Amino acid sequence: MQDDIVTAHGSGPAGSEQENENSQDGHERRTGANSRPPVNLRREQTAPERDPDGGAARLVHYAETAPGLRQLGLTVNAIFDLNTIDSIAYALAADINCLGNGEPSCLLADFKEVDDQYKDRKLANLTHYALGFNPQHSNFTSCLPPDFIDNVLRTVCSNISCENNNADIVTPGYFQGYSNIKKTVRFNPQDLLASQAIATAALSLPVSGPGITPAAKKTQQKLLDQLTGENSPEARFRTIPFVREASRLEQCIEEGEYAFRMEQVITISVSQLLPEHRTMPMVLRPITQLISFFLTAQKEYTQVLRIFNPKEFPGVLCAYTRLFKLIAALMLA
């Protein structure tokens, strides 16, 4: 059996980047991807020395003493007075990487497994964004945490509440899981050239005829130059829809950047903390608990993921972009 190893790297508090692109066309076309659940255990090896808990205690200690969190606390304390703040919200992002036979593999969420994590999909506003032309594999978002992380959050909420006269201090909110392939292609909706209707605008206007003003012809020629790469002849791929996206995907495949990111938004009601607990260590405590969870409980969250050979995904997206490049070339010929 292939020796697949999944590791999670917490990237600290991050702004929650919400899925706002439309779901790709969910035609039931098979990608040929031989997806499978991640395997989290290395093959049995004889080790002369090994922690009884598999190193979990050391990982938890690392999470609780992370210098980045201490520095974050010092920075916030130097800028803000917590006594004047009602609430603080942040998102913890964890990048989950997978190695198969020593090579990076791509991860996507399994539609059914994700669904099973929510007792009430409508209440959670669970939304899937299909990828790879297969509705079974996707990115996803929800306004509530999935079950695999909800248990940890409930414990955090309960402990902090008990220390503060049973006040509701911690509120888990928006959650999203997505392949970093998305960020490779675009950082925001406007960054995706294929969504700007450049080809439609350039090719729908007739070359001449009534109502075709010089200004319209000038605009059309500008768009045609962008479609053919004339606006940047030294690097044509930068302005041609789908070609630019393809070049980014190819670079991603070459560098093996396929992490699957999970982000959880947390809101802390600072004003309800008891005065003696109104400190940044208390505000940041959920972060340490979530870091410990992602470092030590891999089986809990990797159950919703599936592994893909990069030639299959995101390789299929590269094939898709080449198809549109050929279509555009024929239309411009």
| Model pLDDT for residues 175-202, shown as the tens digit of each residue | 999 998 877 666 555 555 555 566 666 6
Instruction: Give 57's strand partners.
Output: none
246 lies in some domain: no
The SS3 assignment for 324 reads: helix
10 pLDDT more than 80? no
Distance, in Å, from the CA atom of 157 to the CA atom of 151, rounded to the nearest integer, reads 10
The DSSP string of 201-238 is HHHHS-SSSTT--HHHHHHHHHHHHHHHTTT-GGGGGG
Residue that wins the pLDDT comparison between 84 and 29 = 84
- Residues with Cβ within 8 Å of 250's Cβ and at least 6 positions away in sequence, in order, are 318
Residue 192, domain member (yes or no): no
In a domain, residue 245? The reply is: no
Structural domain includes residue 110: yes
pLDDT band at 92 (very low <50, low <70, confident <90, very high): very high
Residues 208-266 pLDDT 10s: 667 677 777 777 777 777 766 666 666 566 666 677 777 778 887 888 788 899 999 99
By C-alpha distance, which of 108, 106, 124, 105 is closest to 116?
A: 124
Query: Quick check: bond before 314 cis, omega within 30?
Result: yes
Domain enclosing residue 291, as ranges: 4-187+256-311
Choose from 64-68, 227-231, 317-321 the range with maximum mean pLDDT.
317-321
What is the rounded CA–CA span in Å between residue 329 and residue 228? Answer: 8
Please report whether residue 285 resides in a domain: yes
In a domain, 264, yes or no: yes
Write down the pTM of the prediction.
0.69
The encoded tokens of residue 291 equal 């870091």
Does some domain include residue 276? Answer: yes
The three-state secondary structure class of 148 is helix
Task: Give domain status of residue 223, yes or no.
Answer: no
- Rounded mean pLDDT of the chain? 76
Task: Work out how many domains the chain is built from and give that number.
Answer: 1
Check residue 157 and give its pLDDT: 95
User: Under a CB-based contact definition with an 8 Å cutoff, are residues 287 and 69 in contact?
Assistant: yes
Q: Could you tell me if 266 and 12 are in contact, meaning their C-beta atoms sit under 8 angstroms apart? A: no
pLDDT at residue 19, rounded to an integer: 43
The pLDDT tens digits of the residues spanning 28-64 come to 333 334 455 554 433 344 444 545 555 556 655 665 5
Instruction: Give the pLDDT of residue 320.
Output: 73
CA-CA distances (angstroms) from residue 164 to 39, 86, 96, 277, 296? Answer: 41, 15, 34, 8, 28
Q: Note whether 31 and 132 are within 8 A (CB).
A: yes
- Say yes or no to pLDDT of 84 above 60: yes
Beta strands of the chain (E only): which ranges? 4-13, 88-100, 103-110, 127-131, 134-142, 170-179, 260-268, 305-308
The tokens describing 290, both together, are 């979530």
